[in-house]
Amino acid sequence: MIESLLFWLCCAMVLVGALGAALVRNVFHAALLLGLCLLGVAGLYLFLEQPWLACVQVIVYIGGVLVLILFATLFSADAMGTEQRRRVTTLVIGSGAGALALVLAWRMATVGMQNGVGLQPTRSEPGMVPDAMAGSTNTVGDLLVGDWFVPFLAAGLLLTVALVGAVITVQRFRVRAEAERA
Amino acid sequence: MNGLGYGVDGLSHWFVGIGMPAWLAVTMAVLLLWIAPMLVVVFPIAALGQIFERKIAAAIQRRVGPNTVGLDGPLRFAFRAILCFLPRARQDRVFAAFCKLPVVRTILKVSQRLGLGQLVADGVKMLGKEDIVPSGADGLVFRMAPYLALVGAFVPFCVVPFTQHMVMLETSVGALFAIAVSGIVVVALKMAGWGSGNKWSLLGGMRAVAQLVSYEVPVGLAVAGVVLWCGSMDLHVIVGQQYQPGVFSMVGWNLLQSPFLLLLAVVFFIAGLAECQRSPFDMAEAESELVSGFNTEYSGLRWGMFAMAEYTEMLLIGALFATLFLGGYQSPLCEEWIVGLPVLLETFVHLALFVGKVAVTFLVMMWIRWTLPRFRVDQVMRLSWLKLVPICLVCLLGLAVTMVSSGGTVLGAPFGRLPASPHADLGLIGRLVAWAIPVAVVLGLVRASRKKHGQLHPALRQLTGGGS
C-alpha cells in the first residue's frame, strides 16, 4: 500500500518535474523542477532494487549537474523569463519531439504489458531482506570492473580529457588577461 | 523476519517472548532502535549546539558567556501552567516549597551557573519573532529552502550505526547514501541565496555552492579510501572490520591501520568542516562582508532551521568520522569484553561511547572555530583543489599498493557480510613495514628539502615550530 503510493509519488515527481522544467518561464524555477524530476528518477531506481544507482543519480545529477545548471542560470540575461517569446518553430519542434516520446513510451508500455511485465512496483513483496539489496551493488561493481572494464576506463579517460581541456582553456584566458594588464 | 533489519527483528522477538502482542513488540522495537537515537542523540545535541557554542567560545576567549539565566523561570512557568486551577499566590507558595528541596535547589543553582536557561530564552525569542518574507523574494523558493536544508542534514543519519543494533537502514551503500543525501544541502543554500532577492544573499549562496561542490571531492575520496580498505560501503561492515580482540582494541581502528588512512582522516575532517560551513570555512555567511550571506533575510523559525541544520551537519560529520576512522561505537580498550555483555547493557555502553566520540569531534570543531581566523575565498578553493585532492589521490594509491603488497587484493576483495579483513594477514611485521615506508619517504623528502634550500621548506618549518 505505502510502497505503491510512494511509487506513484515518484512517478508524479518525474512527470511534474519534467513538464514544469519544459514549460515554466523562470529559468531558476525550471532548473529546480528539473531537480525534482531527477530526484523522482532516483526513487524509481530504488523501486528497481538498485540503491547504488539511486545514490549515484543523486550525487551526479543533483549534487553535480543540477548545481552547475543553477550556477549557470545566474549568468542568464533573462533569468526571470520576462522577455521570452514563444517562437512558432520552437513550438513545432518541441511538440513534435514530445509526441514522438509519448508514442515511444506508449509502445514500450504496451509491449511490456503483453510480455507480462506490468506497471507493478517490483518491491511489493513484504519479506524484503536487506541482504537482497546487497546483491545489486556487488553485481554492478563486478560488471564495471569485469565485462565493462574498457568502456568504464574510456569514460574515465574522456572525463579526464575534458577536465584537462577546461584547465588549459582557463589558463589561456588567464595568460591573455595578464598580458593585457601588463 | 519482518524485513525491518536485524536489530528490530531480534528485539521484537524478545518482546514477544516476554508476552507482548506482535504489533506492540514491533512498534516498541522501532521506537527504541530507530527513533530513540534521533531523539536522544541527534536532536538534543543539535538543539543544545547553540549554548555549547557560547559556553565554549567564552571559555576559549576568556569571556563570560551565559551565566545568569537559570531554569527557575521555565520551571515557574510550568508550575503555573500545571496548577492553573489555583490562585496565583498558592501557586507561588507551592513553587517556593518545591524549590527548597535540596536536589531541586542544587539543580537550579548549577543550571544558573551554566546559563542553561539561555537555551529556553533563545528558543522562545526565536519562536516569537515575526516571520518575514521580503517583498522582493521568490516566495515559494524562499520558504522551501530551510526545509530542504533540514532534510539534507537529518536524513543521512538513517544509515549511521549508533550501536550494533541501532541502525535504521541497513544498506550495502551506506557511505555513498550519506554523501549523496547531504549533497542536497547545496541546492537548499542556492535556493536560499536566490530566493531572498538580496545581493548579499546571492553572493553568499554562490560562495556556499562553490565551496560545497569543491569539498565534496576530498570528502568522497577520503571515504573511497576507507571503502577500498574495508572492501564494503556498508557502514555496519566498516565498523565490524575495525573490531580487534584483546585489550588494545584501538589498534583495529582505521585511523591506526595505515599512515595513509591517518592522512585521509585528517583530510576528511578538514573537508567536513568546509562541508558544514564552519569557521575557518564560513565565508559563505561572512557576517562582516556579506551580512551573514545566504541567511540574511531569514528570521525567526526559518533562521532557526538553518542554524539547526548547521549543527546537525556538524554532528553528521562527527558521526561519519567516528564510524569511518574511530571504530564507530566500539570501545578503545577491551572491546572484546563489552561485546560479551548482555545485549541491553552492551547497547547502552556502545551508544555512550559513540556519543562520546561524536562529542569530541564536535568540541574540536568549536575549538577550531574560536581559534582560527577565516579563509579568503580563493584560499578556500586553492586548499581543496591543489592540496586536499592531490593528498587524497596519493593516499588512495598508497592504500592500494599496501593492500596488494601485503597479499590482499584490491579488485578481488571478498564480498558479502563481514568479509575477511583484507589487512588481517598483515601481521605485526607487515604493519610495521606499512608504517615505515611512508614515514621513510616523508623523512627523505624533508632531508632533500633541507639539502636543497639549506634549511626546511617554510611550510615544514612552520609545522615543526620554527626550528630550522
What CATH number does residue A76 fall under? 1.20.120.1200
Residue B15 lies in a domain: no
Last residue of a domain, one of B404, B422, B440: B422
Least confident of A33-47, B223-237, B249-263, B439-453: B439-453
Least confident of A2-6, A117-121, B159-163, B281-285: A117-121
Residues of A with CB under 8 A from a CB of B: 28-29, 32, 35, 51-52, 55-56, 58-59, 62-64, 66-67, 70-71, 74, 126-131, 133-134, 137-138, 145
Mutate to test the interface with B, among A56, A66, A70 (most CBs of B within 10 A): A70
Residues B80 and B61 in one domain: no
Residue A69 lies in a domain: yes
| The pLDDT of residue A127 | 43
- Is B236 at the interface with chain A, CB within 8 A? no
3-state secondary structure of A40: helix
Residues B311 and B344 in one domain: yes
What pLDDT, in 10s, does the model give residues B148-167?
Answer: 998 888 889 888 888 887 87
- Is B3 at the interface with chain A, CB within 8 A? yes
SS (H, E, C) chain B: CCCCCHHHHHHHHHHHHCCCCHHHHHHHHHHHHHHHHHHHHHHHHHHHHHHHHHHHHHHHCCCCCCCCCCCHHHHHHHHHHHCCCCCHHHHHHHHHHHHCCHHHHHHHHHHHHHCCHHHHHHHHHHHHCCCCCCCCCCHHHHHHHHHHHHHHHHHHHHHCCCCCCCCCCCCCCHHHHHHHHHCHHHHHHHHHHHHCCCHHHHHHHHHHHHHHHHHHHHHHHHHHHHHHHHCCCCHHHHHHHCCCCCCCHHHHCHHHCCHHHHHHHHHHHHHHHHHCCCCCCCHHHCCCCCCCHHHCCCCHHHHHHHHHHHHHHHHHHHHHHHHHHCCCCCCCCCHHHHHCCCHHHHHHHHHHHHHHHHHHHHHHHHHHHCCCCCCCHHHHHHHHHHHHHHHHHHHHHHHHHHHHHCCCCCCCCCCCCCCCCCCHHHHHHHHHHHHHHHHHHHHHHHHHHHHHHCCCCHHHHHHCCCCC
Residues B459 and B359 in one domain: no
Residue B377 lies in a domain: yes
Residue bearing the bigger pLDDT, B162 or B21: B162
The total of structural domains in chain B comes to 3
Q: Distance between CA atoms of B316 and A26, rounded to whole angstroms?
A: 35
What pLDDT, in 10s, does the model give residues B49-71?
Answer: 777 888 888 888 888 878 777 77
Residue A157 lies in a domain: no
Residue B120 lies in a domain: no
| The pLDDT of residue B466 | 47
Contacts of B369 (CB under 8 A, 6+ apart): B53, B57, B278, B279, B280, B282
The total of structural domains in chain A comes to 1
State chain B's mean pLDDT as an integer: 80
| The pLDDT of residue B413 | 41
As a dihedral over the C-alpha atoms of residue B208, residue B213, residue B218, residue B220, rounded to 10 degrees, the angle is 120
| The pLDDT of residue B461 | 60
Q: Distance between CA atoms of A32 and A23, rounded to whole angstroms?
A: 13
CB contact (8 A) between residue A55 and residue B138: no
Residues B245 and B323 in one domain: yes
**pLDDT grade, residue A78 (50/70/90)?**
low
Whether A79 has a pLDDT exceeding 60, the answer reads yes
Give whole-number Cα distances, B328 to B54, B341, B353, B421, in Å.
28, 18, 9, 16
Residue A181 lies in a domain: no
Least confident of A3-12, A79-88, A101-110, B145-154: A79-88
Q: Average pLDDT in the B361-386 region?
A: 85
Residues B381 and B406 in one domain: yes
Q: Give the domain range for residue A104.
A: 2-125+132-147
Q: Give the domain range for residue B382.
A: 36-65+132-422
Task: Give me the residue from B202, B213, B417 closest to A67, CB to CB.
Answer: B213
Query: How distant is the Cα of A32 from the closest Cα of chain B, in angstroms?
Result: 9
CB contact (8 A) between residue A71 and residue B194: no
**pLDDT grade, residue A100 (50/70/90)?**
very high
- Is B285 at the interface with chain A, CB within 8 A? no
| The pLDDT of residue A130 | 42
Whether A14 has a pLDDT exceeding 90, the answer reads yes
| The pLDDT of residue B272 | 92
| The pLDDT of residue A17 | 94
Cβ B354 vs Cβ B163: under 8 Å:
yes
Residue A141 lies in a domain: yes
Contact residues on chain A for B234, CB-CB shorter than 8 A: 134
Query: How distant is the Cα of A110 from the closest Cα of chain B, in angstroms?
Result: 33
- Is B184 at the interface with chain A, CB within 8 A? yes
Place of cell 572490520: B241
Whether A122 has a pLDDT exceeding 80, the answer reads no
Whether B208 has a pLDDT exceeding 50, the answer reads yes
Cβ A20 vs Cβ A30: under 8 Å:
yes
What pLDDT, in 10s, does the model give residues B307-337?
Answer: 888 888 988 999 999 999 998 888 888 888 8
- Among all residues of chain A, which has the CA nearest to that of B7? A130
Residues B260 and B220 in one domain: yes
Residue bearing the bigger pLDDT, B401 or A12: A12
Buried b vs exposed e over B128-151: b needs ≥16 C-beta within 10 Å?
eeeeebbeebbeebbebbbebbbb
For helices B199-230 and B300-325, the axis angle rounded to 10 degrees is 20
| The pLDDT of residue B335 | 81
Residues B304 and B415 in one domain: yes
Share of chain B above pLDDT 70, in %: 87
Q: Average pLDDT in the B184-198 region?
A: 86
| The pLDDT of residue B265 | 93
Residue A111 lies in a domain: yes
Whether A131 has a pLDDT exceeding 70, the answer reads no
Q: Distance between CA atoms of A113 and B308, rounded to whole angstroms?
A: 48
- Tell me how many degrees the CA angle B452-B458-B464 measures, rounded to the nearest 5: 105
| The pLDDT of residue B126 | 82
Size of interface A-B (CB pairs under 8 A): 83
Share of chain B above pLDDT 90, in %: 9
Residue A159 lies in a domain: no
Write down the ipTM of this complex. Answer: 0.76
